[in-house]
Amino acid sequence: MVMRYLPSGFSPVALLSALLWWSPASATKPVPDEFVAPLQATAATSMHAPPKGAGRVRTVKDDKMGMPVLQARTAQEAIAAAVAQHAAGCRMLRFSSDGFGWIVTGAANYAATENPVAVRRGRQEARFKAFVDARTRLAECLRGLPSETRQQISERLAQDDAIRLALINLAANDEERREQALRILARGFVAYAVNDDSATVRVHLVTTPRTATRLTRPTANAVEAISLPEGLNQMLAEAGGGLIPPVGNRLIVVNATGELALVGYAINLIGVHPDPAAQSKLRTDAEKIATRHATEALTGLATDDAVAWQSGLDEASRDEIRTAANGYEDGEPSVRRFGQIRDLMMASIKDDPGFQTVREGSLPSATMVKRFGSDETVAVVVVYTPPVKKREVIPPAQQQPTAPATAPASTARALPAPLPDAPAAPASDTPAIQSTPMDKP
């Protein structure tokens, strides 16, 4: 892989501009979203019934692809058909005139015992395992695609100005460009739904060229999105679905504007007691513990010290954190490039009083806390958004980079935001999440 670096002595401000100049928030005309993910749905997003006269879904045998292909009028219909199969695996989607993507289903079992606490713990562990299984299946599925399909993916993603420049700068030849395109697609998935049926948890992930141009995960603990709210939506969906380790942090960045958000989170199981008052106290205690862990994880992100906040966790939690980081290598071009952006963005806020407060282990007044969960778990997400002056978004055609920079193998993108006329999403078996508005602690 050919890596391109800036000359020594290049100023940090110029370096950050060079790293971000190609950001995708261009003058591209918005288009309707392909589908609505149940895990993204909130009370403000009504899940109405499927439209009358919806087209049927056909399963096409494609020997060249080496996997079943679901063909439908819309992505929503094809995805619903795949979810209804209740089977782990990877399936290609074809929809509309030229739309395509993949849905992958991961599965994990948990023991059904008479101990309710053990069942809750087993179910939570199964959700994470099913998510990891789905993510692994997706990467393997895409790696096995024939060369002509890889080329089609590369060409489709290259229609986005940002990704086109990323592919040009990260790859020395067509083969490397196709490989980088697959990585973009594999990390640009949407967590679609979670189903729990008869002690088996199934997690469904969906990726299409459109989702991959709107959101990416350049490292295990980072999200690049076209806006902070949309990046947080995905973070909240994964936390609410129990798809991530019980404690962790995320750095969410918007390359187009220079905005960033530091996030710490924790998901804690609630004990079981027959007395309502005692049960209420168990929930309150679980929330307090989750808030403390989330705050510690946020501090660890601000100080770049993972040892301190992970030292108080049990070995099982630390194992899940290590597992979540699988698939990322320090030598990857996209990982190295994001490391540069992270260092420069964090340096740009080093004098912010609120950031200093976070580094000291406290929550500044501007911190927002999201508390939600089910009868079995409580999740707390702590978000600090440093004040930054937004950069003006300049269409790529008008931008002139001052020097060659290490371009990313993925670009800032966000989750599909449901529109009033978006296709209806099928019901999910995910336990209802009782949310409260963002509030200050």
The sign of the CA dihedral 431, 252, 130, 118 is negative
Question: What phi and psi, each to the nearest 5 degrees, are found at residue 117?
Answer: -65, -40
* Token pair in block for residue 436: 């409260």
What is the Cα–Cα distance from 134 to 132, expressed in whole angstroms?
A: 5
pLDDT of residue 55: 59
Are residues 268 and 290 in contact, defined by beta-carbon separation less than 8 angstroms? yes
Fill in the amino acid letter for 381: V
Q: List per-block mean pLDDT (blocks of 10 residues) for the chain, which spans 441 residues.
A: 32 36 34 78 40 67 79 94 93 90 96 89 95 96 90 88 76 84 91 91 95 89 88 91 95 90 96 94 96 97 94 93 91 83 91 96 94 90 91 54 38 32 38 39 37
What is the Cα–Cα distance from 375 to 363, expressed in whole angstroms?
A: 27
Tell me the CB-side half-sphere exposure of residue 227, using CA atoms within 13 A.
Answer: 7
pLDDT of residue 108: 97
Which of 420, 336, 391 lies closest to 25 in space, CA to CA? 391
pLDDT of residue 413: 34
What is the Cα–Cα distance from 187 to 166, expressed in whole angstroms?
A: 15
Q: How many CB atoms lie within 10 A of CB 324?
A: 19
3-state secondary structure of 409: coil
* Token pair in block for residue 425: 């999403």
pLDDT of residue 392: 64
Q: Give alpha helix (H) positions in 158-227.
A: 161-170, 174-187, 209-212
Are residues 345 and 16 in contact, defined by beta-carbon separation less than 8 angstroms? yes
pLDDT of residue 361: 95
